[in-house]
Structure 1
């Protein structure tokens, strides 16, 4: 079922590996990120649950005898299953009964509330998160520097990126949407703007707690506040104040429900705080760093353009960090790792930490600028952060890196810190 014009994704190998281990894989992620297309590359049969010509019939069958929908060559793809939760339970039962691996792939653009499926599927159905394309997947990064290689102890790096500030602004605005990557439209941000409008008027946004009413103006104000505070552990009160500033009102409970909905729709893709063993008893800040699944959504929510980014250096820097976090999450998870950030009350911080299951970790500072001042600041910040870690317990970091937007070359400084342009990085 392979598509002739398919652009390979890092998820390809991850999906195949998990199908060898589990009876079913639930491939989740935002709309338009390429889940169904990727799943079709390995599926032997499929059914589209939301196909307009068969959707109502599919729902009726799912309620009465969902096993009928599972019939077909394996692995079988069940596309956009989330509105028919009985499918999940039927797959869980079938996998439990047969004990076979690689039987089903479920794809969905939203995560159903926990109460919907009767059984969790733990041990039978593994959950994977897919995102829009990283720069390496879209071809804008040449992949000269590999995170995997750095974790394996390679100290010799070299590479030339050649991305200009104009290129970076365009890539932030266009995003990693496969449709935009293939067509590279003149109006780079249109798809992301359309995405937000569709989300804001989609009935899935009304699937809140029973006593919470949905308001498009309120949700628009929440999304805009998140965009203004992107790549930071913004508090709920800050968002509430921003919403009030637009003339709307919102309670803590309503905000919590709205944020949960944005997470279930995979629009929010926050970064978890890292809690390492420290040399001192300094308190670690525990708020999650807010981020969207793609930087183009930040630009769209701010009603900005690529030219606007270039004229507003601070906003440009935050949007670039959002893009870097997207790429780093994709790369980290392809290595079976996780992405974190660090900030403590003593002012020490690190933009991104990749932690692997074997205990190896690497620390990354993200810098829009590549001038001497920016690099020096990044180096000092990294060293101050590492000095606070109890490396006898946590190990020495596998690498320290400053990830930049427009440095021409990747190289290793005398102090051992790697300077890497984002246009050279891959997993």
Structure 2
């Protein structure tokens, strides 16, 4: 989808992948197209079989058993094009394959389930677009793993300001686009969206009878970035000025397919443990696309328009600006990459009446919990931290740390215990 990379960009997931391959026979890397799965896996493979290549796919389809006879490590790229390969790998694992024998990469889950889930045999890793440290923005000075352990050093300074973040939002985190100038990069992103509609949906087994309607729905979903708007609200926004809202039987498959091709990447609501003293929490997810650049191109927004405060092509009610929602999307991407490296998961919290909302909760081993609020402002106000302090009152020592992620220049600890961290300085 993009020009070839001149050199490999180190990824946060590299260390976890190498750790798994040292002891496990098969690892699958999932993620949307263009995030670098093949580049990462190819560096570790001796034999590469690309199933999006007709010749390779034909050979494997004629003789699936050659996977287990090829020189390991064997990379099966885009394995979902021939789902039977999953079972071949699983059986090879059952038969005693050595550690690091197989790598599988996929940019979609298959249209029909494979014979066996692979549980206990094939471990999966998620790969997302590049975070800011992976784009060589800064050397991070604040560690998410340290925050989860209650041992983080809150220090460091950056020269990055709001305009830099706006450029990062529209530029995206796809590795092959990092050295492309803005106009051709936008063409690549527009082509990426075109491919979703014209090729990825059909390849995922979903016929698109109304491409224009699908694009309108994707724009509405992009406009809902950083919100927990109902799917009915998104559906209504997609039909504004056109026709009656499409039925749920149409939009539900849209959503399911975007998840299957890893383009829709929602953050689930927090499942509060019993005894936490919290009730009346919403269960709806917070909406994000895999990369905020996809949302920006769907809404025909550039960095200047975002800073100016334009709302984009489709209006979905939100608190704050679209720029704030896309910045939150970049924070979500970063937190999930860093959390995966720390064996943690990311969720969000919102009370049903909307009185209290915490943008993200990062929950690690032993239920260690870090609450994260996201603000565009470089200098936080008392209003910006009120939800973090409310949650601290509710959870007490069960809340390991509180963080306000900003576009400011300095990382520091406030007198109330909240860590203020510019996104440029946050790392794994």
TM-score, normalisation: structure 1: 0.91
Q: Map 1:10-409; keep pairs closer than 5 Å.
A: 10-51=12-53, 55=54, 57-113=55-111, 115-183=112-180, 185=182, 189-202=186-199, 204-205=201-202, 207-208=204-205, 214-248=209-243, 249-277=245-273, 280=277, 282-312=279-309, 314-346=321-353, 347-373=355-381, 376-389=382-395, 391=396, 395-405=397-407, 407-409=408-410
Q: Which residue does 2:425 correspond to in 1?
A: 424
Distance of 2:190 and 2:267 partners within structure 1 = 23
**Where do 5+ consecutive residues of structure 1 fail to align?**
none
Distance of 1:344 and 1:337 partners within structure 2 = 23
Distance of 2:122 and 2:359 partners within structure 1 = 32
Deviation at 1:74, TM superposition (A): 1.6
How many residues are aligned here? 411
- Can you list the C-alpha shifts for 1:239-269, whole angstroms capped at 9, x where unaligned? 2212221424421111111101001111101
SS in 2 for 1:158: coil
- Can you list the C-alpha shifts for 1:140-173, whole angstroms capped at 9, x where unaligned? 1320111122233335421111112211110000
Distance of 1:73 and 1:182 partners within structure 2 = 35
Residues 215, 378 of structure 1: CA spacing in aligned structure 2 closer, same or farther, 3 A cutoff? Answer: same
Deviation at 1:397, TM superposition (A): 2.0
Deviation at 1:46, TM superposition (A): 1.2
Distance of 1:243 and 1:299 partners within structure 2 = 16
Deviation at 1:194, TM superposition (A): 2.0
2:131–2:334: 8 Å Cα contact kept in structure 1? yes
Residues 10, 279 of structure 1: CA spacing in aligned structure 2 closer, same or farther, 3 A cutoff? Answer: closer
Q: Which residue does 2:312 correspond to in 1?
A: none
Distance of 1:189 and 1:245 partners within structure 2 = 26
SS in 1 for 2:22: helix
**Where do 5+ consecutive residues of structure 2 fail to align?**
310-319
Distance of 1:109 and 1:86 partners within structure 2 = 16
2:269–2:286: 8 Å Cα contact kept in structure 1? yes
1:29–1:130: 8 Å Cα contact kept in structure 2? yes
TM-score, normalisation: structure 2: 0.91
Deviation at 1:341, TM superposition (A): 0.7
Runs in 1 of length 4+ with deviation above 3 angstroms? 57-64, 182-190, 203-209, 277-281
Deviation at 1:5, TM superposition (A): 1.6
